[in-house]
Amino acid sequence: MGKVINNKYQKQSGEPGEAKEALIYRFLFFYPLLFLLFFNLLIFFPDHLSAADKKALRPDDIDKKALRKVQEEKVVKAIRLDNTPIKLDGLLEEEVWKKNQPVSDFLQKDPVDGAPASEKTEVWLAYDGSNIYVAAYCHDSQPDGIIGLLGRRDSFVDSDWFFFAVDPYFDRRSGYLFGINPSGSIVDEVLSNDISEDDSWDGIWEAKAVRVADGWTLEMCIPFNQLRFPKKDSYVWGVNFQRTIKRKNERLYYAWVPKEDNAYVSRFARLEGIEKISPGRRIEFYPYTVGQARFQPAEAGNPFKTGHKYSGNAGFDLKVGLKSNLNLDVSVNPDFGQVEVDPAVINLSAYETYYEEKRPFFIEGASIFDNFGSGGVYMNVNVNWPSPRLFYSRRIGREPQGYPLHDGFVDFPDRTSILGAFKLTGRIGSGWNVGFINAVTAREYVTVDDLGTRYQDEVEPLTYYGILRAQKDINDGQHGLGLMATGVMRDINSEALSAVLNKNAFTLAADGWSFLDKKRTWVVGGWLGGSFIEGSQEDIYRLQQSSLHYFQRPDATHISLNPEATTLNGWAGQFKLGKQQGNSLFLLSAGALSPGFDPNDAGFQSLGSDLIDLNGFYGYQWLKPGKVFRQSMAFIGLTQQYDFGGNKLFSCLFGDFNGTLTNWWQFDYTFLFMPATLTNQLTRGGPLARTPTGFLHQFYLSSDSRQPVVLDGYFSYQWARHDSHSWSANFSVRWKPAASFSLSLGPLISFETNETQWVKKVTDPLMTETYGVRYVFGRIDQKTVASEIRVNWIFTPKLSLQVYLQPFIAVGKYDRFKQLNRPRAYDYLVFGEADGSTLEPVEGGYLVDPDGAEGPASSFIINNPDFNYKSWRGTIVLRWEYRPGSLLYLVWTQNRADYSHPGELSLWRDLGDLFTAPGDNIFLLKFSYRFDL
């Protein structure tokens, strides 16, 4: 299980007084009452179950102990083919399928865990010197009820499915999964850490499915050279077969694992009989070419915005199987652009926004890098923990970080060119899984035109990125040990860049786990590492004052700002003890990020360092279907966080209740209560401030995915005493009128009032209480209205048209500007309302006199921070896999933005402004071809 709660509790709105006090009790009890109302409605919502089905939900006790013993003894025999080839048509007409006994002993995981399958499934497995073949006959007593939606590759559509999973190393922790549905749509995944799945991998394999009178049949052909395994004379692998009967929401497994056991690959059946195979060396060559045309409004006098721009590129990827268990990926002049645009966001915090990786070179096989620190420990409950990532692949090729040194019209590159990259993944030696990425990015320049004179200002140096990951499973995964190292080295020749970029940055960390019993019920695991950065004095001085560190905090006794430093080092780690099998679950975790820890040159950290985190929770899961729930889970926990000076920065009591009802609706309710604590983030490098008591309610609801219309809803309300309140609702309607077409519409609306939104700081020696600085905040009333629209039109499993549209409007209105009066307290002076202070509107902002005309304090200007950001982003992608591994993309991307009417929301006017705003239109054609050498 995993649960990550992102707390937005950063001190926000509200008026003190009786109305606010009443609000506490209203929402302390109203939201739980609302949840109970939803819950009761769902209980009595028609579930369309027959009396027999309802009786089947409450069977006599199943002897899972006896079933476990049977599963441990399961063996599948692979059949060696003679010279008769397999015609891959899905019809099962070959003699090998007719003459040999299939395996058919499947058990349910849903709807009744451990019950016999309601429909018969027969599976055969055969092989020759180069390929492994899987055939299955999925019998069905109601063949008209078979659901076979078309989906783009790796799209797990709401459909019947058949899956074949294999563990070629027989390490009980890793493997591959291949799936096909009755319409011929396919998916594949890499399996790791026993239960983790990564669908970014795309193997080159083939499959066919056919509907027959009493069900559907299929055949798969998977080349051995697409799998990784050590070369031997004979092999013993792990194997599993799975089937989904969607109309019943029935999930069947040949190697069945009860729900209370948090395991998957480790329980696979034995696959025996494969011997004397010749997988051959895998060599695949992928040349590509791409052309792009960009059309945007021309700007008078700007030589870089003439209304159109054309560009092209070419390069190649090379995939080589160095051995049967080691792969090398090489890219020369790679096309590392992404097809789908990033969603629009409004970020008023001091921290950067995290975006998902969408470039194939980096997402394929990413699991070996992403699983750092999580091996063995499958449970994850993080509340306000930054979850640092040592490797964030979007650092490579990102937008240049420098700035132009000359004035004029600017042609600024939107990304850094990647000259070349290679990736080595696989297994070496005595069971070491390795991943190694090297990439070099080019020196980038901005072109500045000043009245016809051109300047080339360097904005990004030549940079090397290196990432090494290694992990070793010990005793069939009972224990594990790993390490990860990253390095970023920049060839900086510019004084301007040396002041804003680190010259060298490295991280080195180790992780591991150990199960404490043979059943793997109890586990201990974690990671420990450090970061090492060097740069110029100006750069390190800047870094110490960044939002990740805030060494300049005037009241901090455990850190200090060093203007002469040329290095910054730190350490971090997290350790967990958990019980993750059975109905009762338990987890204790302790983590720390030292003040100097900083992985952000190659990685990503969402919040500041200087943090000690203590977390614990207890949960219980009910897995036997009953009158109301098919399954459910409840847990409660406590989080405490401190800085390295001993100041309590966050405290939280949290609880969660989630489950699936008998009508297959799913729900999840979360509650957090947060007592008053201190914060070292609010003043952005200033003294500690106080965050008042608050709470958070979250409720998620999802309808039965088998229906033509699927509903999802997410509701959230957050409140902090005297400071803030916010609520948001996110709905999604997914319509599936045909097997080849789906439309989803997801409107979002949120309202937030934050009494202490950061505005600026003003130096004033008179402010002795706050160390000679006025920390200025304002009340922001922010409203967001947005939607995500997706259209999927799948002509065939290899030809698809996808549309993504996102209209986005965010409006912020500021008032009640104020200053922090003293540290460690919720004590503010509102300008114009107290102590003779004045606040007067002026052109472009406000004039503030903190103590009025008679006082000694100097007045200052607050620039008007109101905003009205309107964005339209959309992409249409036609994708055709015209032969295995060879792709043709045709893409149209449009971006529009408008900023008129700051601070004022008028939905129809703003939508009109958005749709009439000038836009950028980008047309892209990409062609790649796979040569199997």
Computed over its alpha carbons, how large is the radius of gyration of the chain? 30
Q: Where residue 28 falls among pLDDT bands split at 50, 70, 90?
A: very low
Interval 457-481 mean pLDDT: 93
Give me 197's structure tokens. 């799945």
**Least reliable range by pLDDT among 25-39, 215-229, 888-902:** 25-39
pLDDT at 818 over 70: yes
56 has pLDDT over 90: no
Q: Residue 775: which pLDDT band, with cuts at 50, 70 and 90?
A: very high
- Return all residues near 30 (Cβ < 8 A) that are at least 6 apart: none
Dihedral sign from CA coordinates of 315, 316, 317, 323: negative
Neighbours of 708 (CB within 10 A): 11
pLDDT at 344 over 80: no
Q: Residue 390 — φ and ψ, nearest 5°?
A: -75, -25
60: CB partners within 8 A, 6+ apart: none
What does the pLDDT look like over 83-118, one tens digit per residue?
888 999 999 999 999 999 999 999 999 999 999 999
CA nearest 762: which of 863, 868, 694? 863
- Residue-wise pLDDT for 355-401, tens only, equals 777 777 787 777 888 889 888 888 888 888 999 999 998 899 889 99
Pairing of strands 380-383, 2-5: parallel
Q: Are 447 and 410 in contact (CB under 8 A)?
A: yes
pTM: 0.87
Q: Alpha-carbon distance 907 to 903, whole Å?
A: 13
Reported confidence tier of residue 16, pLDDT bands at 50, 70, 90: very low
- Class of residue 712 by CB neighbours under 10 A (exposed 0-12, middle 13-18, buried 19+): middle
Indicate if the alpha-carbon torsion angle 759, 641, 378, 112 is positive or negative.
negative
Estimate the share of the chain in helix, then strand, then coil, as percent rounded to the nearest 5: 10, 50, 40
- Is 70 exceeded by the pLDDT of residue 478? yes
Q: Read off the pLDDT of each residue in 800-808 and give the average, rounded to a whole number.
A: 94
Residue 500, classed as helix, strand or coil, is coil
User: Confidence class of residue 23 from pLDDT cuts 50, 70 and 90?
Assistant: very low
Express each pLDDT in 827-851 by its tens digit: 999 999 877 899 999 999 999 999 9
pLDDT value for 5 = 45
- Bridge partners of 920, per DSSP, are 895
The alpha-helical segments, DSSP class H, found in 527-616 are: 537-544
Of residues 885 and 870, more confidently modeled: 870
| Local confidence band at 30 (pLDDT 50, 70, 90 cut-offs) | very low
Specify the length of the chain in residues.
933
Write down the pLDDT at residue 365: 72
For 386, residues 6+ apart whose C-beta sits below 8 A from its C-beta are 593, 605, 606, 607, 608, 609, 611
Mean pLDDT, range 26-55, rounded to an integer:
48
Q: What percentage of the chain has pLDDT greater than the value 90?
A: 71
Name, in order, each residue with C-beta under 8 angstroms of 720's C-beta and a sequence gap of 6 or more.
9, 11, 12, 14, 674, 691, 692, 693, 694
How confident is residue 545, by pLDDT bands cut at 50, 70 and 90? Answer: very high
For 699, the token pair is: 């409720």
User: Position of tokens 């460690």?
Assistant: 824
Peptide linkage before 182 cis (omega within 30 of 0): no
Q: List beta partners, residue 922.
A: 294, 893
**Among 300-309, 666-675, 856-865, whose mean pLDDT is lowest?**
300-309
Q: From CA 732, how far away is CA 717, in angstroms rounded?
A: 18
What's the rounded Cα separation, in Å, for the pair 138 and 363?
A: 33
- The whole-chain average pLDDT of the chain stands at 89
Query: Is 41 or 18 the better-scoring residue by pLDDT?
Result: 41
- As a whole number of angstroms, the distance between CA 682 and CA 260 comes to 43
pLDDT tens for residues 629-682?
A: 999 999 999 999 999 999 999 999 999 999 999 999 999 999 999 999 999 999
Mean pLDDT of 792-814: 94
Q: What is the pLDDT of residues 777-795, one digit of tens each?
A: 999 999 999 999 999 999 9
pLDDT at position 148 over 50: yes
CB 254 within 8 A of CB 74: yes
**Contacts with 815 (C-beta within 8 Å, 6 or more apart), sequence order:** 778, 779, 781
Share of the chain above pLDDT 70, in %: 91
Q: Is the CB of residue 594 less than 8 Å from the CB of residue 573? A: no
Residue 47 pLDDT grade (very low, low, confident, very high; cuts 50, 70, 90): very low
pLDDT band at 348 (very low <50, low <70, confident <90, very high): low
Sequence-separated contacts (24+) of 248-251 with Cβ below 8 Å: 248/111, 248/118, 249/110, 249/111, 249/664, 249/706, 250/108, 250/110, 250/111, 250/117, 250/118, 250/119, 251/108, 251/109, 251/110
| Structure-block tokens of residue 675 | 């007592």
Question: Cβ distance 523 to 514 under 8 Å?
Answer: yes
Assign 858 a pLDDT band (cuts: 50, 70, 90).
Answer: very high
Q: pLDDT digit string (tens) for 236-264?
A: 999 999 999 999 999 999 999 999 998 99
Cα-based distances in Å from 697 to 27, 280, 391, 666 = 9, 57, 33, 17
pLDDT over 50 at 531, yes or no: yes
For 733, residues 6+ apart whose C-beta sits below 8 A from its C-beta are 709, 710, 711, 712, 744, 745, 746
Could you tell me the two tokens for 290? 């791409």
Is residue 310 over pLDDT 70? yes
- Asked which of 173-177, 414-418, 468-472, 653-657 is least confident by mean pLDDT, the reply is 414-418
User: If you ran DSSP here, which 8-state letter would residue 389 be given?
Assistant: B
Tens digits of per-residue pLDDT, 193-204?
Answer: 888 888 888 889
Query: pLDDT band at 11, cuts 50/70/90?
Result: very low
Note the pLDDT tens digit of each residue in 149-175: 999 888 999 999 999 999 999 988 889
Average pLDDT over residues 895-901: 94
Amino acid letter, 35: F
Decide if pLDDT at 853 tops 90.
no
Rounded Cα gap, residues 187 and 151, in angstroms: 9
Tokens of 648: 């309590």
Buried-state track 761-791, b at ≥16 Cβ within 10 A, e below 16: bbebeebeebeebbbbbbbbbbbbbbbbebe
State the virtual CA torsion across 559, 352, 502, 466 in degrees, nearest 10.
120
pLDDT digits (tens, 9 = 90+) for 756-774: 999 999 999 999 999 999 9
> Any idea which of 65-74, 209-218, 485-494, 592-601 has the lowest mean pLDDT?
65-74
pLDDT at 183: 95
Task: Say whether pLDDT at 276 is over 50.
Answer: yes
pLDDT for 549? 95
> From the centroid of its chain, how far is CA 843?
43
